[in-house]
Amino acid sequence: MTAAMKEEFVSEPIHPCPGSSDVQGMARGEPGFPRRFLWRDKEYALDELLETWKESGPCKSHSPEMYLRKHWFRIRTTDGLQMKIYFERQPRSKGQAKNRWWLFTICQPE
């Protein structure tokens, strides 16, 4: 992120456009990052994948195992925005089962 960008916390679901998922990522057992997605009724397209990382956490039933919880992506869109997006491996609740992709933050030029 450059000094001329302001990061804004969002934490809202995004909706992948059909047929836009990265099939190579899915072949590696990772979520297929959507190259196009909708957020607040506007379509955004991936220009560049800047960074990826994973987040793990302890088992929810208190056993000693660690589990992969989220896949994180920092991207630049074709209109120059930088976004941090994550994929939740387990939905937050039954009501949120369809919302697995989330826009965490967005950086817009000041």
Domain residue ranges of the chain, discontinuous segments joined by +: 5-109
The answer to whether 52 touches 32, Cβ cutoff 8 Å, is no
Name the band, by pLDDT with cuts 50, 70 and 90, for residue 94.
Answer: low
Closest by Cα among 81, 38, 31, 21 to 52: 31
Task: State both tokens at 4.
Answer: 């001329």
φ and ψ at residue 43, rounded to 5 degrees: -90, 135
The rounded percent of the chain whose pLDDT value lies above 90 is 55
DSSP assignment, residue 39?
E
Q: What is the pLDDT of residue 91?
A: 63
Nearest-angstrom CA–CA distance, 76 and 14: 15
Global pTM? Answer: 0.81
The answer to whether 107 touches 83, Cβ cutoff 8 Å, is yes
Q: What is the pLDDT of residue 110?
A: 67
